[in-house]
Amino acid sequence: MTLPEFFGCSFIAFGTPFAMFVFTIANDSIRIIILIAAAFFWLLSLLSSALLWFAIVPLREYLWFGVIFSVLFQEGFRYIIYRILRRTEQGLQAVSENPSIIENKHILAYVSGLGFGIISGMFSMVNLLADMSGPATMGLKGGSEVFLITSATQALAMILLHTFWSIIFFNAFDVNNYMHIAYVVGTHLFVSLITLLNVHEMYLATLLPNYIILLATAALAFKVAGGSKTSFLRFVKCQ
């Protein structure tokens, strides 16, 4: 159960994002660059939250503290990316071979969101995956045996959520829709904090709400990006 588990969990967590990358990002060099830049900003946010967590010694035992600030930092850096991308739009248009990147503002949001998501998923999964690949696994430290697969599932949810959040978030700042901003920050906080329950192996209580939120966020992002019920139906029926 080492290699099969390794591959299974990698594909669960990164299969969908990888497909999204291949089909929507990889063909356009400027999108790859934005993706990596977004990943870099996520790293900066993680670094600052880890510094904060590290610096305040008395609170180091309390993960919720680190989690809350990490979420706030991430949303802060998402806003910074938003500002940077919107400010450099003209330049991007000059650099991009594909003008649609400017015409459809959601593309930038999607790309940077995916960058956020992929790097965050990698950071949470990659060491687990390395452990999984051998010599043996069976939960960590006597923990649950579904530890790894739930981690992978949760990582997938986070990656997709980051993508959708960025779409909603960017649009919300474009149209000054404060409800949506609050929704993004609120659901991010909720999703992250509810995973604190994972310690008690209450996987149903964490995964189920998170996936419900994922679906709701996906629907909202779809709507924000200009989709409607009819266009969705048309898409399903391949019309």
Partner 1 sequence: MDGHVGAGSSTRLNGSSGVEQRKRQNINYGANDQIDGAILDVPNVVVRPARQRNRPTASQANAGAAGSSNNGAYQATNEELDEEGLKYGAQHVIKLFVPVSLCMLVVVATINAISFYSQTDVYLLYTPFHEKSPDPGVKLWNALANSMILMAVVVVMTILLIVLYKKRCYKIIHGWLILSSFMLLFIFSFLYMEEVLRAYNIPMDYPTTILILWNFGIAGMMAIHWQGPLRLQQGYLIFVAALMALVFIKYLPEWTAWAVLAAISIWDLIAVLSPKGPLRILVETAQERNEQIFPALIYSSTVLYAVVGATITESNDRSVAAIENGVQDTEEHASSSAGPARRTGNASNVVNDDAAQAAEGMPLVTFKSHGNDAGFTQEWTESHAERVSSRQIEVQASNGQNANRSTEYRTTTTTNRPTSTFEAQERGIKLGLGDFIFYSVLVGKASSYGDWITTIACFVAILIGLCLTLLLLAIWRKALPALPISITFGLIFCFATSAVVKPFMDSLSAKQVFI
Considering only residues 137, 151, 166, 217, which one is a binding residue for partner 1 as defined by CB under 8 A?
A: 151
Interface map 81-100 toward partner 1 (x if CB under 8 A): -------------xxxx---
Q: Are 171 and 180 in contact (CB under 8 A)?
A: yes
Q: How far is CA 220 from CA 120, 188, 190, 198, in A?
A: 22, 14, 17, 27
**Residue with Cβ nearer partner 1 (43 or 181):** 43
Minimal distance in Å, beta carbon 188 to partner 1?
9
Residues found in the chain:
239
40 vs 79: CA distance, rounded Å: 14
Considering only residues 2, 8, 24, 46, which one is a binding residue for partner 1 as defined by CB under 8 A?
A: 46
7 vs 221: CA distance, rounded Å: 30
**Residue with Cβ nearer partner 1 (51 or 233):** 51
Measured CA angle at 146 (ends 141, 147), to 5 deg: 50
195 vs 193: CA distance, rounded Å: 5
Q: Is 198 in the site for partner 1 (CB under 8 A)?
A: yes
Minimal distance in Å, beta carbon 152 to partner 1?
11
Q: Is 177 in the site for partner 1 (CB under 8 A)?
A: no
Window 200 to 229, contacts with partner 1 (CB under 8 A): none
Considering only residues 102, 140, 218, 225, which one is a binding residue for partner 1 as defined by CB under 8 A?
A: 140
What is the Cα gyration radius of the chain? Answer: 18
Q: Are 4 and 129 in contact (CB under 8 A)?
A: no
Binding interface with partner 1 (CB under 8 A): 27, 29-30, 32-33, 36-37, 39-40, 43, 46-47, 49-51, 53-54, 63, 66-67, 70-71, 74, 94-97, 119-120, 122-124, 126-130, 140-141, 147, 150-151, 154-155, 158, 191-192, 195-196, 198-199
